[in-house]
């Protein structure tokens, strides 16, 4: 299926690296103009912007810590000024602060919840105001298979990602009548900088749980995101779609 997102404007949070970067590039390849959000990785975000522009697309970068509603508001002001609207939101920004519960500092809990779950709320709230006026829009939340399976040493991450799934479904129930769609994508073990430490220390053990017998690539997730953003997915709403090589059933 050839997907054409020409004329659409997309925002990808955490768009400078890993899954976010792949989503930015894939959305741009399909014709969308892309707002690339970053928190600290300015150079990486600018590289994504340059790559999109080199291919003939349009992109702008926006610095914002999505855990801060004030910073998100400022980012959306910039997006509305530059693009005039927003059609697609990919809530991808996330962090990991893995450790056992009894060793976990409250700041580590709050950081993960703040970026992954609160960040999705902040950006979705702002995006929905635009999309509801347009009576059209797609919100795609990047959760994780850990939101289904959980795992030791990841109570904060598991709680955040499970929360994203429920948040997605509640938004779909609440706002679908206004032309908006909300879906969650649940990656498994994807080869990114964020997962490098886990893969390095438990690669064989993790691979045993993956029926497809390979780790995923960021592009595997990005392809699903682009499809969900398209008219071809117009009857898919409130879903949590795993992209994990079967890890959750392995």
46-72 residue pLDDT tens: 999 999 999 999 999 999 999 999 999
d(CA 240, CA 141): 9
Q: Range with the lowest mean pLDDT among 92-96, 127-131, 203-207, 244-248?
A: 203-207
Residue 4 domain-assigned? no
The count of domains in the chain is 1
Residue 133 domain-assigned? yes
Residue 178 domain-assigned? yes
Residue 3 domain-assigned? no
pLDDT value of residue 2: 87
Cβ atoms within 10 A of the Cβ of 173, count? 12
pLDDT value of residue 250: 58
In 3D space, the residue among 69, 51, 64 whose CA is nearest the CA of residue 93 turns out to be 64
Residue 248 domain-assigned? no
Farthest-apart Cα atoms in the chain, separation? 51
- 120 is written with which tokens? 């999705």
d(CA 59, CA 30): 13
Residues serving a catalytic function are 157
Q: Indicate the average pLDDT of the chain.
A: 93
d(CA 10, CA 7): 10
Residue 2 domain-assigned? no
CATH code: domain of residue 44: 3.40.50.720
Residue 159 domain-assigned? yes
Q: Is 27 helix (H, G, I), strand (E, B) or coil?
A: helix
Does residue 199 surpass a pLDDT of 60? no
**Host domain of residue 153:** 9-242
Residue 22 domain-assigned? yes
């Amino acid at each position: 299926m050839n997907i054409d997102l020409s004329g659409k404007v997309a925002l990808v949070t955490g768009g400078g690296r890993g899954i976010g970067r792949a989503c930015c590039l894939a959305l741009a390849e399909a014709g969308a103009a892309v707002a690339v959000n970053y928190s600290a990785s300015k150079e990486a975000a600018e590289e994504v912007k340059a790559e999109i522009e080199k291919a003939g697309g349009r992109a702008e970068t926006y610095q914002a810590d999505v855990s801060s509603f004030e910073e998100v508001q400022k980012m959306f002001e910039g997006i509305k000024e530059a693009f005039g609207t927003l059609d697609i939101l990919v809530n991808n920004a996330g962090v990991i602060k893995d450790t056992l519960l009894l060793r976990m500092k409250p700041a580590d809990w709050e950081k993960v919840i703040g970026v992954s779950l609160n960040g999705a709320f902040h950006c979705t709230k702002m995006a929905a105001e635009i999309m509801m006026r347009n009576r059209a829009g797609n919100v795609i939340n990047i959760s994780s298979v850990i939101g289904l399976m959980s795992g030791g040493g990841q109570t904060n991450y598991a709680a955040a990602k499970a929360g994203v799934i429920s948040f997605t479904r509640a938004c779909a129930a609440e706002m679908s009548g206004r032309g908006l769609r909300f879906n969650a994508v649940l990656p498994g073990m994807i080869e990114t900088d964020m997962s490098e430490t886990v893969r390095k220390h438990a690669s064989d053990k993790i691979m045993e749980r993956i029926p497809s017998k390979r780790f995923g690539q960021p592009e595997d997730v990005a392809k699903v995101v682009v499809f969900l953003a398209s008219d071809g997915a117009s009857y898919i709403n409130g879903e949590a779609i795993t992209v994990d090589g079967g890890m959750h059933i392995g």
